[in-house]
Amino acid sequence: MDLLATIRIFLRVVERGTISGAARDLDMSQPSVSERIDKLERFLSARLLVRSSRKLSCTAEGRTFYEQGKHLLDTAEMTINSVTFSDGQIRGNLRLAAPQCLGETVVPRALINVRAAHPALHMDLTLSDAISDPVIEGVDISLRLGRLNENGGYIAFPLGWVGRKLVAAPSYLAARGPVETPADLACHPFIRVKAAFMNDQVPLMRENGPVVQTRIKTAMTVSHWRPMYDLILSGGGIGVLQHPACARALARGRLVELLDGYRVPSLPLNALIPPLRPLPLRVRAVLDLLKRDIPALLQSAV
């Protein structure tokens, strides 16, 4: 049995919570993953996972083995790098997670620079607005928008602020009339991503003023930002878009900002990493480039 490879499979099963999810990540069949886990448990003479009809969870022994297994794989990688890094090339695999909109509009440009600096590094980018903690998700670096959980098991590095714009298409305003006051928002169909503004309120603030929650009238919810963008651009309603997603349309006059003198507060962006000591070389190298490039990319969208 290839013990390191089997440990890597076990870690992915724990992080995904299902055999099927781990199999997809690892490009393996579900029976093959199950067989490797069974062999590992027999090798250790210990039960590592509790299997239910819907999800897997760790036993106490499984949790201990998971934590020590992560440390073992990181140590193995650093040992290999200590020999193979003599040519200046960082190798290995790096898993990066990012929110959908940011991951489609900003992150790819940053990763181009990562690829140029480290062409031997293999990267796996996962886009999901549901990712919350790199330790739980099993990624090396997780880019997160919004306020962080103070009790999270991660280290956070601020990367800047992502602006948000309350917008509509000129064709919509020509047909439905202007939005002149915050109270007018409740009179217009609002299109939003399902996880945003779920209480049918949008935060608005004047310069240096307090944030005021303002009522909206949700007409449609979507699971991804792109249909929302297309619907607003086509005059289907009003909504809030992240600035990197709508900067070009605003500059070309295809979208206009609403409520002059008010703005939707920006969201803080952080890079989260698991609290590993020492930090793997591949993670430190990519993190340094993201810290250098993403603030400038966000600023270029302003």
**Domain ranges across the chain:** 3-83, 90-161+268-300, 162-265
Q: In this predicted structure, what is the pLDDT of residue 205?
A: 93
Q: Is the dihedral of CA 281, 285, 290, 292 positive or negative?
A: positive
Q: What is the CATH number of domain 90-161+268-300?
A: 3.40.190.10
Both structure tokens of 256 = 């206009």
Separate counts of helices (H) and strands (E) for the chain:
11, 13
| Separation in Å, CA 300 to CA 25, 161, 163, 167, 233 | 34, 12, 12, 19, 22
pLDDT digits (tens, 9 = 90+) for 220-245: 999 999 999 999 999 999 999 999 99
Give, in words, the CATH class of 3-83.
Answer: mainly alpha
Domain 3-83 and domain 162-265 have a common topology: no
162 vs 143: CA distance, rounded Å:
12
β-strands 217-222, 189-193 pairing: parallel
**Using CA atoms, how far apart are residues 184 and 186, in angstroms rounded to an integer?**
5
What pLDDT was estimated at residue 218? 95
Query: Model confidence over 47-85: pLDDT tens digits?
Result: 999 887 677 889 999 999 998 888 888 788 777 666 555
Q: Which has the closest alpha carbon to 22: 33, 31, 32?
A: 33
Please give the CATH number for the structural domain made up of 162-265. 3.40.190.290
Whole-angstrom Cα distance, residue 159 to residue 266?
13
| pLDDT above 70: percentage of residues in the chain | 92
